[in-house]
Structure 1
Amino acid sequence: MSRKRILIVNNNMYIGGVQKALENLLWEIHSDYDVTLLLFHKGGELLNKIPPDVDLIEAASPFRYLGMSKYDVRGVKEKLLRLFFAAFTCVFTVRKTVGLMGLTQKKLRGYDTAISFLHSGKEKTFYGGCNEFVLNFIEAEQKITFVHCDFEKIGATSEKNRKIYSGFDRIATCSDGCRASFLRCFPELSQKTYVVRNCQNYNEIKRMAQVSPEKFEGNGFNVLTVARFGKEKGIPRAVRAFAGICNAESKIRYYIIGDGAERRETEELISDNLPAGVVTLLGEKENPYGYMAKADILLIPSISEAAPMVINEAACLGTPVLSTETSSAVEMICDTGFGWVCKNSEDGIRKEIERLAGSRNEVESKREFLREQKFDNVMAVKQFSELISQDGKTTD
């Protein structure tokens, strides 16, 4: 019996939550299906981590601009073309931009299932395009799209996006909370919207933690955040929370791995409000797992989140998680016993950090619980298999 042919479409393979989830999924399914991965731009640190038997192809040339950052574009001509498409989107929407880019795109045929792995954003933002590509340029028995965001919070609810998502046979969200958020925007799509949890490479995470073991100085209470310095990640307010409870004699220490737009603001907050050594910026690290394994807790101080992969990464290393209350936090942390959820505010972060620092037995008990758990992708793979095994097309 021949294997099902699946085509998955994404923008690129740079390090990010969507791309990491895609890499992990490919490793779980590549031996069961005939998988082709189509990228708008063949770029990214995760490109060489794709299973070798996955067929890698690229969309027609203009689509690369939807997969490239402004830093990837070289030369005046390239910069002008990207600027043109971005400006065109601001005026006419990304749907029109995809149509323009697709003038040179051949129709792709012969697939059982076509999957868009990247959600739609605001219709006049130069982002996405994968949903439109799957709907307009691929012929397949069924078409599926994934939602890896808190759709309500990103502000992408519109009639155009409603029409786009209505065009798919099925919609997969990465958590119950993300499904609920999506359906608050498009409640009429409930019958075709499912949950398919993200896969993790647990063995690799544990191996990398052992390859690069780290240790923190002294016997303080060590808190770690691993995240981009983006507005939604809430890192500056986390630093302000630590400023409210830490002084020169305090044994609480906060370490941050990552980089991004808000790093400079964070550096200024640290120098202006905290004694030296209380908060340490460790920068971008390809392998953060040595630090993650040794931290007392992992802190997710986000203003908004979908289903952060870092939750299960920390948990499988035996590190409890404290998160602000976002769309999937309760189901992924409280319901699993992986840690604690606090109010989504600076004060909420401050109070819970202070409480946990004074409750070391509770933290250690949580670590012991995590060490006894079995972490695998059985449920996630089952959900994916059921998603693509449903017969034919759905009706609205």
Structure 2
Amino acid sequence: MTEKKKILIRIGSLRHGGAEKVLVTFLKNLPQDKYEIDLLLNLYSGKYLSEVPSWINILYLNKGEMITTNRPHEIPRKAARVIYQGALKKFPNLLYKGKLKNKKYDIEFAAIHGMRDEILGSPIKSSKKIVWIHNDLSQVKGYTNDEIRKFFGFDKIMVISEKIEHLFHSLAKNETEKQKIVKIYNPLDTEEFIAKADQPVLHYEFDHSVPTFISVGTVFPQKGFDRLLKVHKKLLDEGFKHKILIVGDGYDFENIKKLKSDLGVDETATMLGFTDNPYPYFKNADFYILSSRYEGFPTVLFEAITLKKRIISTEVSGANEMLNNGELGLIVENSEDGIYEGIKKALTQPASFETYSEKLKNYEMPFNLENSVNKITSILDEL
């Protein structure tokens, strides 16, 4: 019996985001006889906590939900968290001696790019270090080429799309650095959401006399819901009847809700908030729209493809790969104008989407759960 590899995985929390879902799906499909895993969260919160397999040891720096507001009574708690987490980042020995009980890990794994410095700053010099990059960092504020180059401090850089792979290749200085980059499509469980899509819609009345465009995602500026609502207003003013349904929650929720009221589209645009099961809404909507400013590999398109939706997507990292360069859905310019043209086309020429629907009928996903999990485990085993 070979000894189990000891692995430390770090992520902020298990709140509803693509990277979090992907991590938990991966953990659920890992063989437990090979690994001993500690999952360290900055914040013990999120809907995916209950899905983590029981054999994985969950540790955390703080408990409770994320504090996204600045209400006076919450500021002390928020400040205490920031100071505590900051101190552990600055003096990692405290964390490794205390919370992690001096455990010697074989592999330390940053499950998101934001954990780079925590893992690279580990006092365990002998461990192999891996990072999982879910975003096109060239589009993320503060990530200059020099900042991105710091990721070459890892032994392996797992990237989730061709665009991110190209970015890292372009910054690699030699063959050794290039060898560190490995592209792995996100492990996603298609059967799970096909089954979930058949459940009833609970909190929304679909009006089948007008087309409904659905968009699902964490509500923050990256997702471009502000652009979507402005386009919605413009098209309504031009006499094009349609509805918008936004499913998701996030720190920008109140701002987007206020924008919706300011634009005067409360009757036709709905913000549903967070739901455990967005798939019945997907299934009943007429079109899926991705209005994002940037992405890494938009998991949500994978879900829309699986549910055979008519898709409109801005040209972000991963969109061309997922939609087979526009064979499976309409890819529009990454701007308000692009979104406008896309929705207008759907409203004025719905028949033009038939070719996509035909292609989707017998489409087989090139990326599946088993392949992704096998590829990641083979990296863990080789290190």
1:108 aligns with 103
Q: Which is further off, 221-230 or 379-388?
A: 379-388
1:156 aligns with 143
2:376 aligns with 384
Distance 2:76 2:224 in 1: 37
Distance 2:359 2:283 in 1: 15
Superposition RMSD on alpha carbons, in Å?
Answer: 3.3
Aligned length: 371
Q: 1:374 to 1:158 in 2, by over 3 A?
A: closer
Give how far 1:289 is off. 0.7
1:360 aligns with 350
2:123 aligns with 136
**Equivalent position to 1:70, from 61, 67, 71:** 67
Give how far 1:131 is off. 2.3
Contact 1:85–1:97 (CA<8 Å) still a contact in 2?
A: no
**Equivalent position to 1:179, from 162, 165, 171:** 165
Question: 2:19 aligned with 1:18, yes or no?
Answer: yes
**Equivalent position to 1:204, from 185, 192, 213:** 192
How high is the sequence identity, in percent, across the aligned residues? 24
Give how far 1:230 is off. 0.9
2:90 aligns with 96
Give how far 1:202 is off. 1.4
Structure 2: gaps spanning 5 or more residues: none
Q: 1:319 to 1:31 in 2, by over 3 A?
A: farther
CA deviations over 1:238-274 (Å, ceiling 9, x no partner): 1111222224953322111123343344334433435
Structure 1: gaps spanning 5 or more residues: 121-126
Q: 1:169 to 1:238 in 2, by over 3 A?
A: same
Q: 1:190 to 1:150 in 2, by over 3 A?
A: same
TM-score, length of structure 2 as denominator length: 0.83
Distance 1:252 1:187 in 2: 51
Give how far 1:213 is off. 4.0
1:44 aligns with 46
1:285 aligns with 275
Give how far 1:76 is off. 8.6
Q: 1:187 to 1:316 in 2, by over 3 A?
A: farther
Question: 2:295 aligned with 1:305, yes or no?
Answer: yes
Give how far 1:116 is off. 2.1
**Equivalent position to 2:261, from 254, 271, 282:** 271
